[in-house]
Structure 1
């Protein structure tokens, strides 16, 4: 047996070393528990390094501390205890700890009319930071939806009116003829343009929450917009989707305002930022709007 102590080069004193804001590891594969399910996540974990105390940090201590997330529900309280463990393992070296978790949240969504259902994935991230006993957690999610341009819809309606005037010049109209005309390409000569859009939301959570309400946040976002993208559909679902778009015409400004009102109604957040992007089908550029509250 070799009785020599293994060298710890990272612990060597660096009296004139420049302090570092963040030192750690990125893209650590990690199973976590979210809303009763195990989810595959990627973790970024790190601490700061104060001046003149050490050449480096003990990364293995952070890595091993992450194991506590494997078998308990992810909550703000659990995250705070984990960051406290990060700092306890670097006493005298660090005063701030940070963790970011990136994962996909899978939800099975029913079709609008038919009995079909399918899975949708949502990109989610959780950021937690503890510095000088100040702790906060942020929950971020990206949600796709459909948006139909109000201006395009108005212009299409005007063209349909013009075509109606050309095709029905007599004073007395035949109901069946009009009905047939409305169901033909001859009558509906123009349609509004729509695009796949995306809402990016970041919430600052209350630090005493006993749950991480990812699904509730996604449901709130989709309900406020009214045009969530679909999974498995039949023609009846596609028709219902067309109706939903027709009843929820919106510019990016409208979408941002809807989301702002919906997020303000949540009781478990202390602030948020939001950004919507409408990937234009008319233009080669995108339309964007953003808003924030207490950020």
Structure 2
């Protein structure tokens, strides 16, 4: 049996004494529990290396501390517990600890009219830091939705009006004939263009929040937009979706303002940066709007 002690190169002195802001691992595969769901995640874990004389950190200690994320539902208190373990295992080396979790949350969403329902995936990132005993949590969510251009809708209505003039000028109007005209491609000669759009939400959470307000934020944001993309649908649901788009015409500026007002009311959110992208069907480029807000200190 070999009696020699295994070498620990990380304890050796650095060739150049210099502190480092962040040292750790990225893309660690790990199952996590979020809102009762067991999800496949990728995790970034790291600490600062404040002792400039030290050669490196103990990455295996960070890896082993992540095991707590497999057993309990993700919460700010659990994130802080893991970060504190990072620092305890690097006492004398590090004053700051960082954790980032990337996953996709599945939420079951009902159809607009029919009794159908289906699952929708939301990319989520949770970032937490503990720096000089100051704890900070951020939450990122990507939301897909539909947007119909108000300008395109107005232009389409004008073409329909012109077609009505062409077809019925100097003719006595008959109810049945007009009704048939309205339901035909001969009458409705133009439709507005819509696009699948995305809202990227980046929230700063209150320091003492108990839970991650994931579902609340998603529900509030989708309600504000009014045209969240659907899952399982029947024709009645598709018609209801067409109605929702027609009643919620919006430029990217409109979407950004709606989300700004909704997120300000979300519990536990102390600030945010949002970015909406309308992947236009008319242009080869996207229409984009951004907005920020930070709660003023009392």
Normalising TM by the smaller chain, what interval? over 0.9
CA distance in 2, matches of 1:72, 1:270: 25
CA RMSD of aligned residues (A): 1.3
2:71 counterpart SS class: coil
Question: Per-residue CA shift, 1:83-126, capped at 9, x if unaligned?
Answer: 11101111111111110000010011111111221111010000
Checking the alignment, whether the CA contact within 8 Å between 1:76 and 1:211 is kept in structure 2 is yes
Checking the alignment, whether the CA contact within 8 Å between 1:24 and 1:45 is kept in structure 2 is yes
Q: Quick check: 187-196 or 227-236, which moved more?
A: 227-236
CA distance in 2, matches of 1:131, 1:53: 20
CA distance in 2, matches of 1:172, 1:147: 38
The offset of 1:3, in angstroms, is 2.8
The offset of 1:51, in angstroms, is 4.1
Gapped regions of structure 1 (runs ≥ 5) = none
1:123 maps to 123
CA distance in 2, matches of 1:179, 1:107: 41
Question: Per-residue CA shift, 1:216-272, capped at 9, x if unaligned?
Answer: 111111111000111111111111110000000000000000000000011211101
Number of residue pairs the alignment of both structures matches: 295
Name segments (4+ residues, structure 1) moved above 3 Å. none
The offset of 1:15, in angstroms, is 6.8
Gapped regions of structure 2 (runs ≥ 5) = none
CA distance in 1, matches of 2:27, 2:103: 11
Query: Does residue 1:69 correspond to 2:69, yes or no?
Result: yes
1:153 maps to 153
Checking the alignment, whether the CA contact within 8 Å between 1:149 and 1:193 is kept in structure 2 is yes
Checking the alignment, whether the CA contact within 8 Å between 2:213 and 2:267 is kept in structure 1 is no
Q: Quick check: 246-255 or 210-219, which moved more?
A: 210-219
1:70 counterpart SS class: helix
Question: Per-residue CA shift, 1:50-97, capped at 9, x if unaligned?
Answer: 243310100000000001111112111111121111011111111111
CA distance in 1, matches of 2:175, 2:59: 78
2:264 maps to 264
The offset of 1:172, in angstroms, is 3.9
Q: Quick check: 230-239 or 140-149, which moved more?
A: 230-239
CA distance in 1, matches of 2:278, 2:241: 18
CA distance in 2, matches of 1:135, 1:203: 15
CA distance in 2, matches of 1:293, 1:285: 27
> How is 1:170-185 mapped onto 2 (pairs within 5 angstroms)?
170=170, 172-185=172-185
